[in-house]
Amino acid sequence: MSVTATNTVAPLTVVATSEGLKIDGTDPKYGDWRDDLVRDGYAVIKGAVPKERAGKYADAMFSWLEGFDLGFNRNDLSTVHRDNLPWIDQKGMCLQYAVTHEDFAWAIRGEPGVVAAFEKVYDTKDLIVSFDAINFGFPNRTDIPKNVPWPHQDQDPLKPGFRCLQGLVNLLPNGPDDGGLIVCKGAHLVSEEYHRVFKDEPRIPAWTNEWFGFTDNGMKWLEIQGYEWEKVCADPGDLLVWDSRTPHYNLSSKTQQPRFAAYTCYMPVAHATQEDLERKKDAFERFVGTTHWPNARHVGSNVAKRGEEDDPHNRLEPVNKPALDERTFKLTGIPYMAE
């Protein structure tokens, strides 16, 4: 497959026959974190972002929150309240206010160590990236609903096999009780069996088929099969990746330590259609977000609610617009669009 770029000097060529990871029991030994990913359904890539830069990104994220001038102060956790912050849900997700296109979000997406990890998995440099949420997890929040477990896969059970690698860049120290990603270790490999066993069980309602929630019965089945849940711990700058089939959710911090993360998910551009790339370009130009799926199957909005009303502090553009270098701009998919 060959496509022509509209705004690069030379047309970009996409090789569709990738020899990426299979994650089906047939992968060879790689001698690095890919072995963990294949076996456990997740992996931690230590230091994918240098610690110093991770610290700068965390600072920029704190400044972004303080920049709303609503009373939040990073040095006083008593100021963590929905009245003092943009809207952040109980899972820590912030999706609106053009946050996903702030310069720090794009700088994280363009981090060479992060991009390189996905290039290794898919065996191609022709990738596109999601415009996904930023996570601002603060401890001890009583001003918003409790964060209850929502164990799930981010993949349609009718489309089995390894299809998507999700990722997040962790930006603050993240120990066992500091909240964050928890996964059911190794259960990606029994996904098909699970869906055979539970094929007649009513599904937990979801807004997209690419989300499957585990019921209490399903959780018991995983336990009986011997699968255990593990909270993934990380240092600032570590990249966490997981197969979309791996059951997962996130926990809130039980300490005084906030948890900041940027979701970064890449897929080969060869897996996207021209229509997908058009939708993605539109999202990029309007500074709106997507889900973790980089093909922009679902596009978000920058209009957050404050109670019943539109938040008067909504923003339709980033405060600090990103300046994308050539490598990072390719990740928008725009250079791969046909004329």
Interaction of residue 210 with Fe ion, rule CB under 5 A: no
75: helix, strand or coil:
coil
Query: In this complex, which beta carbon is closest to Fe ion, that of residue 101 or of residue 248?
Result: 248
- The minimum distance between CB 107 and Fe ion, in angstroms, equals 23
From candidates 102, 154, 243, 276, binder to Fe ion by CB under 5 A: 154
Alpha helices by DSSP H, 112-233:
112-122, 191-197, 216-224
Cα–Cα distance measured from residue 281 to residue 278, given in angstroms and rounded to the nearest whole number: 5
Cα–Cα distance measured from residue 244 to residue 188, given in angstroms and rounded to the nearest whole number: 8
- The minimum distance between CB 242 and Fe ion, in angstroms, equals 8
Query: In this complex, which beta carbon is closest to Fe ion, that of residue 245 or of residue 330?
Result: 245
Query: In this complex, which beta carbon is closest to Fe ion, that of residue 95 or of residue 334?
Result: 95
* Distant-in-sequence, close-in-space partners of 12: CB < 8 Å, separation ≥ 6: 3, 4, 5, 126, 330, 335, 336
Nearest to 22 by CA among 184, 260, 181, 188: 188
* Distant-in-sequence, close-in-space partners of 84: CB < 8 Å, separation ≥ 6: 70, 71, 72
Residues that contact Fe ion, how many (by CB under 5 A): 1
Listed ranges 147-155, 184-192, 235-243, 278-286: which one lies at the site for Fe ion (CB under 5 A): 147-155
Residue nearest Fe ion (C-beta atom): 154
CA within 13 Å, CB half, 296: 27
Listed ranges 10-18, 134-142, 152-160, 279-287: which one lies at the site for Fe ion (CB under 5 A): 152-160
Q: Do residues 261 and 171 touch, judged by C-beta distance below 8 A? A: yes
Query: In this complex, which beta carbon is closest to Fe ion, that of residue 111 or of residue 154?
Result: 154
At 115, the amino acid letter reads: V
Query: In this complex, which beta carbon is closest to Fe ion, that of residue 154 or of residue 243?
Result: 154
- The minimum distance between CB 152 and Fe ion, in angstroms, equals 6
- The minimum distance between CB 209 and Fe ion, in angstroms, equals 14
Q: How far is CA 8 from the centre of its chain?
A: 28
What are the phi and psi torsion angles at 56 (to 5°)? -65, -40
- The minimum distance between CB 168 and Fe ion, in angstroms, equals 10
Nearest to 289 by CA among 132, 70, 129: 132
Listed ranges 95-103, 148-156, 175-183, 215-223: which one lies at the site for Fe ion (CB under 5 A): 148-156
- The minimum distance between CB 229 and Fe ion, in angstroms, equals 14
Residues found near Fe ion in the complex (CB under 5 A): 154
